[in-house]
A and B are shown apart, each in its own frame.
Chain A
């Protein structure tokens, strides 16, 4: 590929524009959908009934203290 012949680079440039456009679209979409608001609440969305907030979910197998309730909630 001749680096001075930019026609050869056209597919890559077009692909680059497409990828960049998708990135900008994603940022716009995230703002429009409210992904950039209510941050404190969003941080809690990974907790579920099975793995609730305030509960430790991992310790060494030899430990007797399985899934203890955390005494310190944030």
Chain B
């Protein structure tokens, strides 16, 4: 419903957007025993790494081809080859996943071609899978990079296999946390189905203590699982961004698909359970019937605080849709919506318009709003406006526990409603005697033609009354 407006500014102020290679790296971090690599200058990796560490509070394996100005101009084949050999020797990953950057795309490095050459020249790399995705920094944003990376994983590693009727592939969007993925896996498994989650950051970025130090990712979708996705009976995607990979799976293995535009909310989760019941031929487990009823109650309790609330929200397209729609379902008004990149999701957003812009646009649009909802970079704007900030998405670097925040399924939706409602509850002000002055017109009307003279004294208060009131 919302129309998309692109910001007319030349200068982006307080960016909301992050780059494609960073989104691609997050996708690759959801693969087990993987080493993601940015093909670019060392700074590209360094910035991404610091941001991921600050959000997840986990060690992040992320490497660089360390391009300098000479290799940038002459082409980065030697750097790619050296990086692949070095990484294999030092960390021995099963998968090395490369994404390009603005620097190498500007020069026009043919990385697909490089990989063919390196495979011929260096047979010792035969035991290592290599995935490559093109993600120039100056096109799209975080979510696009993630989407293309998941598609690249599918296209590189999935082959058609004999059908397994009780296996489904789950494609989580980049806006889902490890806890979200765990919740969805539990739901799928409750129907007697097994889920191949691709990519699965719940295994790698959920914050656990491994028995030993490893240079690569500490869990996630294993290589065998990715390959086994060719046998799945169905593909479930969460967020429009997963459609590209879901269609690739359909093309490769003929897997039917459904992309859920969101799984934060009531009706969308009803559809998910219906779909799972249909695939498995089993009834909806009692647990979820109970959770649904709890969610209804939470919506009833929560709507007092969300109804009529004016919201300024800025997020990547699918997250904007998920949280924005829930707020709309609960009676809030999406007064100012800002996003990063084009998406089919924007058409579904119950708002007048979506600005593809930055946090300056949000700050400007938020002046008459009650709450700001965006990532941690919104903290300066919220402080300046003196309004509450609800942190969502990536990065959230000034709160801990991000990996364990669940906002999907009936339970996750309920948790988010509580969070929003509690934020609003804290803002309920106390009224004062002078809050409702009459208009000058009303005052004039009331005093017009009144008899002039001193006010009439009410006379002495009787002692008994004075005592009673004291």
Q: Are A and B co-members of a single complex?
A: no
